[in-house]
Structure 1
Amino acid sequence: MSRRAARALFWLLLGLPHLASGVAAAPQAVVLQIDGAIGPAVADYVVRELRGVRQGETRLFVLRMNTPGGLDTSMREIVRAILSSPVPVATYVAPSGARAASAGTYIAYASAIAAMAPGTNLGAATPIRLGAPGLPGGAPQQPAGQKEKGSEGATSSSEPADAETRKAVNDAVAYIRGLAELNGRNADWAAEAVRTAVSLPASEALKLNVIDVIADDVPDLLRQIDGRVVKVAGKSERLATAGLEVVTAPPDWRTELLAVITDPNVAFLLMLLGVYGLIFEFLNPGAVAPGLVGGISLLVALYALNLLPINYAGAALVLLGIGLMVAEAHIGSFGVIGVAGIVAFVIGAIMMFPSGAPGFTLSLSVVAAATIMTAALFLLVLTMLLRSRRHPVVTGKEGLLGAEGETVAWDGDEGRVRVNGEIWRARAQRPLEAGARIKVIDREGLVLVVEPA
């Protein structure tokens, strides 16, 4: 009996993991939180969750969104992941008071279900051009900002004046029209949202077939969309969302870290820390710590800047400004080169991150603080330089002139003297006694010319 009981217990223990997996495999609706500007971190978070889906467990993804807009590249990456996802995706603008502006509007149009909570709005999808024309990094990034108007405030759909802006707007119109036609939504209003930056509250969006439902919360959304037929990865599918278990998948540490380093303020400070660390290491070889910190900071900054829309002319001016201030410390032009470096630094910092993308602009307070610190460093170096110019020379021939010492041994008009702890050959115009105090008045090669002190 004991053997039979042991076997039964053994098979029971083997079966427990399968029972647990069966319980864990209950149908779920996974909620992804998008709160803030849409950038590289948000795109990485959403794409990883959509691609890592377990179809047996997850029946629906809900993007709970509140965003002022974001970067075109990140938005399109999310849209591609939504359109290729084997699991239907619902975009839900919530909570009340939230918005899905600019990039958020495109994501809502790309989703199989577009929903809003009462008191929310979406729209203002006009692309914002980042950077100056003709400069590297000046290509348009769309949709990257917001310029909200009421739906009744749209008075003009005239074409932009310059060709570059027209191309960006027309490309955005074609893109959002394609998304609207794919999911059977109002394509004309979508085009108007791009051309004239109009916005809609939830009630009007439902009337104009911009969204599918207005829901108070996620469970209410699941009840309302149950049984609807939507397109998922190009195929029609009937939703079965009633009774799904709602599971929230918050951003992990990787997303949080990426969000921190892709903040323009953090990336800018990391770049400065990296450059200054490497400069200090080159000027003081063997210090090690500045070189390590500077190298790591600069690599992380370059990774972040590669993901952000930056103006390369501005970045070049920042580096030029730092280079000029370093040159001032070595050349000593009494501030002329240093002042030019500070001016270049400030202008470059302002130009480096264009102001069109919400959530991805450089804070003026950060620019001011960085400029003050850099200028203070420059003034410190300049002050030390000026002080060193006033100090007497303490090396070479000039460093010995006027120095006092004593005779060690003397014979006639020549002998040996001790000056600054060193023994030198010396001569004088008259004989001296051993132990007498002397003063150096000249140096001829390795022989000092002395006189009684």
Structure 2
Amino acid sequence: MKRLVIFLFSYALLLLACPTAFTSFSGESPSSKAKLLILDGSVNPGTAHYLVSNIQSAEEEGYQLIILQMNTPGGLDLAMRDIIREILSSNIPVATYVYPPGSRAASAGTYILYASHISSMAPATNLGAATPVSIGSMPDPSSPEPSSPKPASPDSSTDDSSTDKDNEKEEVKEANRAEPQSSNQNAMHKKIINDAEAYLRGLADYHGRNIDWVKNAVREGESLTSKEALDIGVIDLIAESPEQLLSKIHQRQVRLPTGPKAIDTNGMTIVRVEPSWQMDLLSIISDPNIAYILLLFGIYGLIFEGYNPGTFVPGVIGAICLLLAFYALQILPINYVAAGLLVLGIALLVVEAFAPSFGILGIGGIIAFFIGSFLLFNEPETGIAIAMPILLTVTIISVILLSFVLSLALRARQQPVVSGREELLNEVGIVEQDFVDEGWVHICGERWKCRSYIPLKSGQPVKVVAIDDLELTVAPSKEDST
């Protein structure tokens, strides 16, 4: 009996210490898990870091599937390629799912959808518009080309025919002269388009999806609904919910770096993984609107510190905001001409504040500031743009500050001088002792050496009429009763 008790006690301890050691004996396997990641917004370095780090750690954390729930207008090419490289090298299948209804996988989202092992969409969603857009100036490929020479009419006279030929030659010469100016830009644009199309064709071929539609998506910017995409083989399936997605991809074969693999979703549970606060902060800073506001806070903070040296608070806050803005600007593509206009506008506003020009520099600064702000991230197709309400609000605030500074300058100009040497002019003092030519006068509580061309008596009121270094020139005041 004693041995039985000891055996049961030992068995209970072993069961508590290693609860998973007996699952294999009972024929049961631990439940499988799917890691749900959310991409809601533009593709930027913050979202790329969140997705890449979670895809890399999924295998170690024991996940058997990664679900990328996506709703994006597009984003940066470098961030997109980082995500795609990680998806293609992952040993765990990645199922990208455009969800909820009303979402889209535009531009960079289309590339990510093509690169995923499983591409799926919810009803009432769309994808496409995969034409790459450059930040900054880019010539329009649809601009009309130089007109070709028109053939001469057979009914025209010889003189008219010769005149038309001369005009045609001139048109050809002008077209040839204009062509080198835009040839380099057009060549660069063609390179970008060709590279994007080849990249998307490679992803389509890798997973056996529709290649023919790639040209329409990249060159024409065409978009498709979820049903249209399924009909032509751009996506694999349509699912109403993530749970239905799991049931539809059960035992589906996918291509992994380790070879073909069938996805087993039987009894799989979905675990939603939220971004950490560091990733949230990086994503927030990467937003163009936040970067723009941080830049302004930083500049104005340093300006206010310059107005009131020693307060430290605006200077410290401004320096922190400026450094965060510089970090965001180095990972965001910006228009450098617009950045120059922005800096010029702020510089003109600062000069107007320190050396008022009664609005000339200030108005020019506001115009340059607004244009630079508008063009800094002016690419709404990629989700990288500054919202117009923010631009208008900042411009209105700048106008109000400029008006306040100008009003203070005009008010100060109209006030009399209350300090310095000029304050002594026309001041009235009292002669201490009788003197001729030179003597001492009590003025504004101080004893001054004065010169007078008229003899003065003790106690006589005098007025300062000139200042020569530390010597004053005085004359009898009208208050003198004599």
Please tell me the TM-score bracket, short chain as reference. 0.7 to 0.9
Q: 1:254 aligns with which of 275, 278, 283?
A: 278
Q: Quickly say closer, same or farther: Cα 1:384–1:292, change in 2 above 3 A.
A: same
**Residue 193 in structure 1 maps to residue 217 in structure 2:** yes
Q: For the residues of structure 1 that align with 2:135 and 2:273, how far apart are their CA atoms?
A: 33
- The residue number in structure 1 matching 2:311 is 287
Q: For the residues of structure 1 that align with 2:301 and 2:207, how far apart are their CA atoms?
A: 53
Question: Aligned ranges for residues 38-437 of structure 1 at < 5 Å?
Answer: 38-55=43-60, 57-133=62-138, 162-233=186-257, 235-407=259-431, 409-413=432-436, 415-428=439-452, 429-434=454-459, 437=461
Number of residue pairs aligned between Structure 1 and Structure 2? 420
Q: Quickly say closer, same or farther: Cα 1:25–1:352, change in 2 above 3 A.
A: farther
Q: For the residues of structure 2 that align with 1:445 and 1:55, how far apart are their CA atoms?
A: 85
Q: For the residues of structure 2 that align with 1:171 and 1:254, how far apart are their CA atoms?
A: 33
Q: For the residues of structure 1 that align with 2:270 and 2:83, how far apart are their CA atoms?
A: 22
**Residue 37 in structure 1 maps to residue 60 in structure 2:** no
Instruction: Give ranges in structure 1 of 5+ residues lacking alignment.
Output: 139-160
Q: What is the root-mean-square deviation in Å for CA atoms of aligned residues?
A: 3.0
User: 228-237 or 182-191, which moves further after superposition?
Assistant: 228-237
1:213-260 per-position Cα deviation (integer Å, ceiling 9, x unaligned): 222222221122122221123632222222111111122322332232
1:87-109 per-position Cα deviation (integer Å, ceiling 9, x unaligned): 11110111222221221111111
Secondary structure, in 3 states, of the residue corresponding to 2:381?
coil
Q: Quickly say closer, same or farther: Cα 1:422–1:263, change in 2 above 3 A.
A: farther
Shift of 1:289: 1.3
Q: Quickly say closer, same or farther: Cα 1:22–1:248, change in 2 above 3 A.
A: farther
Decide whether the 8 Å contact of 2:133 with 2:382 is kept in 1: no
Q: Quickly say closer, same or farther: Cα 1:20–1:330, change in 2 above 3 A.
A: farther
The TM-score with structure 1 as length reference comes to 0.84
The TM-score with structure 2 as length reference comes to 0.79
Shift of 1:163: 2.7
Q: For the residues of structure 2 that align with 1:328 and 1:56, how far apart are their CA atoms?
A: 60
Secondary structure, in 3 states, of the residue corresponding to 2:36?
strand
- The residue number in structure 2 matching 1:157 is none
- The residue number in structure 2 matching 1:156 is none
- Corresponding letter in the other structure for 1:362: I
Q: Quickly say closer, same or farther: Cα 1:42–1:121, change in 2 above 3 A.
A: same
Q: Quickly say closer, same or farther: Cα 1:96–1:356, change in 2 above 3 A.
A: closer
Shift of 1:28: 0.7
Larger radius of gyration: 2
- Corresponding letter in the other structure for 2:117: A
Q: For the residues of structure 1 that align with 2:237 and 2:129, how far apart are their CA atoms?
A: 20
Q: Quickly say closer, same or farther: Cα 1:313–1:448, change in 2 above 3 A.
A: same
1:337-368 per-position Cα deviation (integer Å, ceiling 9, x unaligned): 22222221121111111224342211222112
Decide whether the 8 Å contact of 2:91 with 2:258 is kept in 1: no
Shift of 1:381: 2.2
Secondary structure, in 3 states, of the residue corresponding to 1:443?
strand
Secondary structure, in 3 states, of the residue corresponding to 2:42?
coil
Secondary structure, in 3 states, of the residue corresponding to 1:58?
coil
1:141-176 per-position Cα deviation (integer Å, ceiling 9, x unaligned): xxxxxxxxxxxxxxxxxxxx9333322211111001
Task: Give the % identical residues.
Answer: 44
Secondary structure, in 3 states, of the residue corresponding to 1:119?
coil
Decide whether the 8 Å contact of 2:59 with 2:92 is kept in 1: no
User: 21-30 or 302-311, which moves further after superposition?
Assistant: 21-30
- Corresponding letter in the other structure for 2:342: V
Decide whether the 8 Å contact of 1:394 with 1:400 is kept in 2: no
Instruction: Give ranges in structure 2 of 5+ residues lacking alignment.
Output: 24-28, 141-184
Secondary structure, in 3 states, of the residue corresponding to 2:309?
coil
Decide whether the 8 Å contact of 1:130 with 1:356 is kept in 2: no
Decide whether the 8 Å contact of 1:25 with 1:56 is kept in 2: no
Shift of 1:71: 2.1
1:173-206 per-position Cα deviation (integer Å, ceiling 9, x unaligned): 1001111111111111223221222222223322
